[in-house]
Every structure is written in C-alpha cells, then in structure tokens.
Amino acid sequence: MHIHILGICGTFMGSLAVLAKQLGHKVTGSDQAVYPPMSTQLEAQGIELMNGYSPENLNTTPDLVVIGNAMSRGNAEVEAVLDKGLPYTSGPEWLSRYVLQDRWTLAVSGTHGKTTTSTMLAWILEYAGMSPGFLIGGVPQNFEASARLGETPFFVVEADEYDSAFFDKRSKFVHYRPRTLIMNNLEFDHADIFADLAAIQTQFHHLIRTVPSTGLIIAPKGVESLDQVLEKGCWSDVQTISTEQGDWNYQLTSEDGSVFSVEIQNEEATVNWSMTGLHNVLNGVAAMAAARHVGVKASLAAEALSNFSGVKRRLELLGDIKGVKVYDDFAHHPTAIETTLDGLRKQVGNETIIALIEPRSNTMKMGVHQNTLLASAEEADQVVWANLATDGSMDWLSDMTDKASDKHQSGRSVEQMIELVNGRLQSNIEGNAAARQHVVIMSNGGFSGIHQKLISALKEGT
C-alpha cells in the first residue's frame, strides 16, 4: 500500500511514518517545514519527503492519505485530496486501525508528563525483556527512535487530548482503546480548541469509557479535576498514587526526588536515578504501576528506572561553559515551568538559576495563563520572557513584566534576551570561577536558535 502523510515532519506524524514503513508500506509525505532532525530520520528510513503542500504531490495517487491535525480546509493539498476523492483518515485513526488492533495498549494521558512517563514505561518493559512497541512524542534517550512496532503484544502510546483532524474534532486518545491507562494530571490547556476545563474533562471521560472492565486506570490520589472525571462513571479498576493513602505509596529519600521508595501491597522498591523533581517521581511511580499491570514486579521496574537516561528537551543539559550549565526544557504551561524549576532548585540549592522562557503554545500566546506565569518562575533568580511577536499580539507580556519585580524582564529578540543575561553570567564567572550558574531555556519550539547562540556567547566571553 502507498501511504501519503500530510504534515509528516511533526513528531506524531513522523512517528506514524516510521511505523507504516516498518509494516512494509511505501510511505511518502509532505510538510511546509522539511528540515532536520525529523527530515533526516525519515529519509534514513527510505521515506520520500516533499517540501510544501501542492496537488502535484498526489500525482502518484496514493492508496491512502493520512492527514495531520495541523492541516485545515483551504490547504492546497487537502483540497486536492477532497476533489480527487482519495481515501483519507486521521493519524490517530490510522494508528488504531493498523497498529493497535489486537495489541495490549498502555496509554499515558495528562496535561503534563506524557512524553516522559511514556518513555519511562516503554523503557521498563524493554528492560524487563518484553520488547514493546511504542509511539512517543519526543526523543527517548534509551531508544534509537520515537516509534517502533515491537515484538510483543504490548504497545505504549502517548495519549494526547488535542483534536484528531479538521474532520474529526475528538481528542486523539479516544481512538486508542487502552487496556492500561495512566491519567497523570489534568489542567486547562489548549484554549484554541477547548472552551474550558469541563470540555477537556468530557474528552477524558470519553477515554475512560473505552477502557475494558478488565483494564486498569492509574491516577494520583486527590486531584479534583481527575476525581470529577472518574465520578462521571468508571467501569475499570483504579489504582491511586499517594504518599501514604494510595494503592501505590511513595516517599522521597532525597528532597530533590533523585532517590525515592515505593510500596505496593507486599512489594517495596527503591529508585535511585538521574531525574529530579516531584513531578518526575509521580511520573515514575505511574510508569511502575502500569508496568506491574502487565507483569513487571516493582523491584525490577525500580531497577529499570535507576538506569533511565531521560528524554531530550526535558531539562536536558546542553553544555557546561566556564561553570555555567545550559539546559533545554520543553515547557508549555505554567505548571511545567514551576515543577521543572522547583526540581532544579532542590538539586542545586543556592546556586544561581536564570530562566529564558518563550510562551509559545497557542494557549500561552493568547495570554490565558498570564495571571500565573510570574509565580511559576518564582524559583529562578532572573527571568527573561520572550515577546517575539511582531504584530503586537503579545504586548501583554511586556506589560506584565513592567509591573513585576526587577528579576522579571522581557526581550523582543533572542539577541536582546542573551544580552540581558550574559552580562550577569560573565561578571559572575570573572568574580568567582567556582560559582555554579544554571540557565534553563524553556520553550516547546525552536526558540529561534537561542540555545546555541547563548552557548557561543558564553564561549566567546562577550
């Protein structure tokens, strides 16, 4: 079968392309942003890429077109698919029909931590010799790719609540029909498609309706937004995570979360790993709970997590220049900013933390979270917010920082942002060579290449 994918360079659609190729299909695809690393990964798989959307991309007449959720009516190639009457489907529907059918699907949902928890779960199963399939919306350090078919019935999928396609406004995850479901957390997000939290909760309850009675739902105890979803109706077993009142109880051995213990029924285990932050502890315990549902003992899961290498762009250390550590973090929501900086603070103590933050998600750019943004970065010593919009749509951000304390500033370009922090970094380097400093660059996009530009500036000492 010849499958053509619109929006192939997105993380989810690119991963679908890899799976389709592994199934033996001829795969082609088009995107308006064909560039590394996704383009090189796909080309290495023998997948033909077309730069830009055009009816001519369909001249070979594919047997099936898979349309990404970034595509909309008016797109030239979408219009050609409809005009030609070509068979088409959404990415989640294709995954459900051609990959997840007859598999034991372990799905990871939630506003935060989906990528990290999915990677942890896939790694635990891999470490246990179960060779799972997986599709993860990021680049897992313990694997060579973000997707694979696997060699057993088990398949781990990052279950996103965003919509499926322009013709299917249901959340992606309702297509997956998991037997094991993690619900990490639930907050308001995606203001471009959801009117309020209740609208997202409705989609989460649709997901719960697809879990069989013999399945398992895993959730933190006492999270009101999730409890409200479960109260709408639940037909499966539920296991909760807590410090002492849940089915899975955890205790921090170190304040930064780098060592913690877990107890479930008569099993006890300790995780000593490279991760930090309470949010990652909760991610890890949820992954252990899901793995136990398919037969992995807590002790073996803890051993696996102690050998977990993390996920790219999740507080990923990019370099250490003259005592300045530069990190890349995929922050898309105030809670993600807060938990990441809190975990780092507990790890580094009184050392200097500087945050460069780009509010880039549609919800963030709309200013929906502006009342909580400043507080989310409280653990940083200096914060520079990126106001990179040239149309004035994010001037609320500059107004916000103007009214805030001196530690909050905004920059109109990455060059200006680097200038605002580099002077402080250089003076600290010169004043005390032993002082440790940490710069966390937070964005769910490329941030105009600020990472390497800052590293170059630090190396040059300018």
Based on the number of CB atoms within 10 Å of its own CB, is 3 exposed (0-12), middle (13-18) or buried (19 or more)?
buried
| pLDDT at site 260 | 95
Residue 302 to residue 308: CA distance in whole angstroms: 10
Residues shown for the chain: 462
- Residue 116 to residues 275, 315, 410, 441: CA-CA distances in angstroms? 11, 11, 29, 18
pLDDT tens digit at each of 462 positions of the chain: 999 999 998 889 999 999 999 999 999 999 997 766 677 878 888 899 999 999 999 999 999 999 999 999 999 999 999 999 999 999 999 999 999 999 999 999 998 889 899 999 999 999 999 999 999 987 777 887 889 999 999 999 999 998 999 999 999 999 999 999 999 989 877 677 788 899 999 999 999 999 999 999 999 999 999 999 999 999 999 999 999 889 999 999 988 889 999 999 889 999 999 888 888 999 999 999 999 999 999 999 999 999 987 777 778 888 888 889 999 988 767 888 888 898 889 888 989 999 998 987 767 767 667 777 888 889 999 999 888 888 888 788 888 888 888 889 888 888 988 888 887 787 666 655 556 899 999 887 778 888 888 988 888 875
Q: Give which of 102, 127, 110, 99 is closest to 291, Cα–Cα.
A: 127
CA torsion sign for 364, 368, 369, 370 is positive
Using DSSP, state whether 398 is helix, strand or coil. helix
The pLDDT, as a whole number, for residue 440 is 93
Rg of the chain in Å (alpha carbons): 22
List the structure tokens of 342. 């809190």
Q: Are strands 408-411 and 154-158 parallel, antiparallel or unpaired?
A: unpaired
Instruction: Identify the CA nearest to 376 among candidates 319, 329, 310, 437.
Output: 329
Give residue 430's pLDDT.
60
Tokens representing 304 are 């696996």
Which DSSP category does 378 fall into? Answer: T
CB-based contact 1:27 (threshold 8 Å): no
Question: What pLDDT, on a 0 to 100 scale, did the predictor assign at position 371?
Answer: 75
Instruction: Return contacts of 259-268, CB within 8 angstroms, 24+ apart.
Output: 260/284, 262/288, 262/298, 262/302, 264/288, 264/289, 264/292, 264/298, 267/297, 267/298, 267/299, 268/298, 268/299
Residue 441, phi then psi, degrees to nearest 5: -95, 120
CA–CA distance, 382 with 418 (Å, rounded to integer): 12
DSSP state of 388: -
d(CA 276, CA 252): 11
- Helix 298-305 to helix 278-293 angle (10° resolution) is 140
Burial class (CB in 10 A: 0-12, 13-18, 19+), 116: buried
Which domains are present in the chain? 2-90 (3.40.50.720), 102-305 (3.40.1190.10), 316-460 (3.90.190.20)
Half-sphere exposure of 426 (CA within 13 A, CB side): 15
Q: What is the pLDDT of residue 367?
A: 67
Kindly list the distances between the CA atom of residue 155 and the CA atoms of 103, 118, 363, 430, 455, in Å, as whole numbers in the listed order.
Answer: 7, 10, 31, 52, 39
